[in-house]
Structure 1
Amino acid sequence: MNRELTKILKTVYENTGIDVLLYASDGSFIASATGRTFFRPVKLSFDTVFTDTESHRTHFKLYYKTDRLFGEIEGDGAVAANYAYMLSNLIENMAAREGNLSKEEYAKRILLGDCSGADVHKFKIKYAVPELPFYVLAVRSGQKIAEVLNISAQYVTNGVDFAVKIGERECVIVKFIEDDGEYQSSADFAFFLANSMYEELGLRVEIGVGGTFRRFEDACVSYQQAATALRMSSVFGSKGNVHTYREFILIKMLEDIPEGKLGDYLSVLLDKEAKELLRDEEMVNTAEEFLENSLNVSETSRNLFMHRNTLMYRLDKIERVMGLNLRKFSDAVTFRIITILFKLVK
Structure 2
Amino acid sequence: MISTQTIKGSISELGAITKVELCVMDLGGEVVASTSELGFSDISIITSFAASPVDSQVIGDIHLFKVMDEGDPLYILLSKGDNEQAYMVGKIAVSQLQALVLAYKERFDRNNFFQNLLLDNMLMIDVYNRARKLKIEVTAPRTIILVETGRTKDNGARELLTSMFSPTSGDYVTAVDENSIIIVKSLGKNESYDDINQVATTIVDMMSTEALLNVRVAYGTIVEEIRDLSKSFKEAKMALEVGRIFNAECRANGYNTLGIGRLIYQLPESLCRMFIDEIFEDKEIPSNLDEETLNTIAKFFENNLNVSETSRQLFVHRNTLVYRIEKLEKSCGLDVRKFDDALTFKIALMVLNYMKYLKERE
TM-score, normalised with respect to structure 1: 0.61
CA drift of 1:340 comes to 2.0
- Taking the aligned partners of 1:181 and 1:251, their CA distance within structure 2 comes to 26
Matches within 5 A, 1:247-258: 247-258=257-268
Opposite residue 112 of structure 1, the aligned amino acid is L
CA shift in 2, pair 1:306/1:192, >3 Å: farther
**Where does residue 109 of structure 1 map in the other structure?**
116
CA shift in 2, pair 1:221/1:306, >3 Å: farther
* Unaligned 5+ runs, structure 1: 1-98
The structure that has the greater radius of gyration is 2
Query: Is the aligned partner of 1:124 residue 2:131?
Result: yes
RMSD: 3.1
The C-alpha deviation readout for 1:26-85, integer Å capped at 9, x for no partner, is: xxxxxxxxxxxxxxxxxxxxxxxxxxxxxxxxxxxxxxxxxxxxxxxxxxxxxxxxxxxx
The C-alpha deviation readout for 1:229-256, integer Å capped at 9, x for no partner, is: 2112222352121111233242222333
TM-score, normalised with respect to structure 2: 0.59
Matches within 5 A, 1:185-196: 185-196=195-206
**Where does residue 237 of structure 2 map in the other structure?**
227
Query: Is the aligned partner of 1:136 residue 2:144?
Result: yes
- Taking the aligned partners of 1:167 and 1:306, their CA distance within structure 2 comes to 49
**Where does residue 152 of structure 1 map in the other structure?**
161
Matches within 5 A, 1:1-346: 102-130=109-137, 131-143=139-151, 145-157=154-166, 158-179=168-189, 184-236=194-246, 238-275=248-285, 277-280=286-289, 282=291, 283-295=293-305, 311-346=321-356
3-state SS of the aligned residue for 2:284? helix
Opposite residue 121 of structure 1, the aligned amino acid is Y
3-state SS of the aligned residue for 2:136? coil
CA drift of 1:305 comes to 7.5
The C-alpha deviation readout for 1:90-136, integer Å capped at 9, x for no partner, is: xxxxxxxxx99632122122222333323322332123333112111
**Larger deviation: 174-183 or 218-227?**
174-183
CA drift of 1:310 comes to 5.5
Conserved 8 A contact 1:107-1:164: yes
What fraction of aligned residue pairs are identical, expressed as a percent?
27
- Taking the aligned partners of 1:306 and 1:141, their CA distance within structure 2 comes to 40
Opposite residue 166 of structure 1, the aligned amino acid is V
Conserved 8 A contact 2:216-2:251: yes
The C-alpha deviation readout for 1:193-246, integer Å capped at 9, x for no partner, is: 222222322332210121111222121111111111211222235212111123
CA shift in 2, pair 1:189/1:317, >3 Å: same
3-state SS of the aligned residue for 1:142? coil
Conserved 8 A contact 1:138-1:227: yes
CA drift of 1:285 comes to 4.4
- Taking the aligned partners of 1:129 and 1:119, their CA distance within structure 2 comes to 13
**Larger deviation: 292-301 or 197-206?**
292-301
CA drift of 1:292 comes to 3.7
- Taking the aligned partners of 1:301 and 1:203, their CA distance within structure 2 comes to 37
3-state SS of the aligned residue for 1:133? strand
3-state SS of the aligned residue for 2:140? coil
- Taking the aligned partners of 2:192 and 2:231, their CA distance within structure 1 comes to 25
Opposite residue 146 of structure 1, the aligned amino acid is N
CA drift of 1:303 comes to 7.0
Conserved 8 A contact 2:197-2:252: yes
CA drift of 1:281 comes to 5.7
Opposite residue 157 of structure 2, the aligned amino acid is V
CA shift in 2, pair 1:230/1:180, >3 Å: closer
Opposite residue 144 of structure 2, the aligned amino acid is V
How many aligned residue pairs are there? 247
Conserved 8 A contact 1:145-1:171: no
**Larger deviation: 119-128 or 298-307?**
298-307
* Unaligned 5+ runs, structure 2: 1-104, 357-362
CA drift of 1:154 comes to 2.1
Opposite residue 241 of structure 2, the aligned amino acid is R
3-state SS of the aligned residue for 2:345? helix
CA shift in 2, pair 1:147/1:236, >3 Å: same
- Taking the aligned partners of 1:280 and 1:265, their CA distance within structure 2 comes to 18
